[in-house]
Amino acid sequence: MFTTTEKTIPVTVLTGYLGAGKTTLLNRILTHEHGKKVAVIVNEFGEVGIDNQLIVNTDEEIFEMNNGCICCTVRGDLIRIINKLMRRRDKFDHLVIETTGLADPAPVIQTFFVDEDMRDRVNLDAVVTVVDAKHVHAHWDSEEVQEQIAFADVILLNKTDLVTLEELDQLENRIRSMNKLTKIYRTQNSELDMDAVLGIEAFDLTRALEIDPDFLGEDTHQHDESVFSVAIVESGALNPERLDEWISFLLQTQGTDIFRMKGILHIAGDNHRYVFQGVHMLFNISPDRLWKKDEVRKNEMVFIGRNLNPEQLKKDFLVCVA
């Protein structure tokens, strides 16, 4: 479900608070010589579209959605536009969705979970968040900023020329306490190598583990912020029925507080690794590649959200071990 195939189009969701530098990054994507044909969906909040007028003139496919915030009213429109785009499948090989700065990215991501047709035609490559290093502190407590950071696979810590090195280090540590999984780049004017943004398969936990097998270390969970991450690393094969019951119960009781879940699972009686992905109230467990002969079969999970109880999560998870 989360791996790129020849049939599916990779999708980058571009998010970030108002004025962080999203449109600047989008223009770089559209003008960079990266060899990709990019289609763009721009979402704005309000009846008058401005961002679309700020995008450089290119030959790329650009669609504007200004009839509502993408995160609450127009998921159906998003699906329809993607379906319309897919009729011109030969015209592009990567899709970028730029959300309004006031958007919670979760419903956009959920689109790729919910709609079966979407799963067969597109795959989520990465959630890229642009953070204004100078002004983010003024909006830090807003739901939008916290979710944009919590969901990010890649973060551009932008406008670094406007703050001190010490301030950057503090901000990066603060972001890491919320989302240890994310890859952080320090940028000015959203300037970054496109290989760090497009076609990186960052939404797939498999790749993150291969890059850094230790990122689920014991220091993953923090308690000094309202949003933080909790890691579980345990050996033992899992009973799939118990696992399904536990996750379903967890989402019924805490789903609104859990922004993001990722994991690699060892399922009893199966030689495949399983990839676990979840966004708020939705989750999916799907078979991945076969375990390698010399590979230690273990379970590695990360929960990102607020009001999480690390001890209780681990205790309930251990009940799922066969």
| Residues 239 and 194 placed together within one structural domain of the fold | no
Partners of 264 in the β-ladder = 275, 300
The answer to whether position 3 is within a domain reads: no
| Residues 153 and 20 placed together within one structural domain of the fold | yes
Query: Quick one: pLDDT at residue 214?
Result: 53
Kindly compute the dihedral angle of the four CA atoms of residues 319, 248, 204, 32, in this order, to the nearest 10 degrees: -150
215: amino acid identity, one letter: F
Number of domains forming the structure of the chain: 2
The answer to whether position 1 is within a domain reads: no
HSE (side-chain half, CA atoms, 13 Å) at 222: 14
State the CATH number of the domain containing residue 223. 3.30.1220.10
| Residues 51 and 196 placed together within one structural domain of the fold | yes
Query: Quick one: pLDDT at residue 210?
Result: 56
State the CATH number of the domain containing residue 31. 3.40.50.300
| Residues 254 and 137 placed together within one structural domain of the fold | no
Helical (H) or strand (E) element with 10? strand 9-16
CA-CA distances (angstroms) from residue 59 to 40, 91, 92? 11, 10, 11
Question: How far is Cα 15 from Cα 296, in angstroms, rounded to an integer?
Answer: 36
| Residues 74 and 179 placed together within one structural domain of the fold | yes
Percent helix, strand and coil across the chain, each rounded to 5?
Answer: 35, 30, 35
HSE (side-chain half, CA atoms, 13 Å) at 157: 23
Query: Quick one: pLDDT at residue 312?
Result: 92
Residue 298 DSSP SS3: strand
Residue at a domain's end among 203, 230, 251: 203
Query: Quick one: pLDDT at residue 154?
Result: 95
| Residues 132 and 192 placed together within one structural domain of the fold | yes
| Residues 160 and 48 placed together within one structural domain of the fold | yes
| Residues 183 and 41 placed together within one structural domain of the fold | yes
Place of tokens 């900023």: 145
| Residues 198 and 272 placed together within one structural domain of the fold | no
Query: Quick one: pLDDT at residue 204?
Result: 66
Query: Quick one: pLDDT at residue 172?
Result: 95
Query: Quick one: pLDDT at residue 268?
Result: 93
How far apart are the two ends of the chain, measured CA to CA in Å? Answer: 25
**Cβ–Cβ < 8 Å for 206, 195:** no
Q: pLDDT of the chain along its 322 residues, tens only?
A: 334 445 688 999 999 987 888 888 988 888 887 778 888 887 643 333 333 443 334 444 444 433 333 344 556 777 887 888 888 878 888 888 888 665 667 777 777 776 777 778 888 899 999 999 998 988 888 888 888 898 899 999 999 999 999 999 999 999 988 888 889 999 999 999 999 999 988 876 665 555 445 545 544 434 345 778 888 888 899 999 999 999 989 988 888 888 878 888 999 999 999 988 787 777 888 888 899 888 889 898 888 888 889 899 999 999 999 8
Place of tokens 């097998």: 213
pTM above threshold 0.85: no
Helical (H) or strand (E) element with 276? strand 272-279
How far from the centroid of its chain's Cα atoms is residue 308's Cα? 19
Range of the domain at 310: 212-318
Q: 167-207, pLDDT tens digit by residue?
A: 999 999 999 888 888 899 999 999 999 999 999 888 766 65
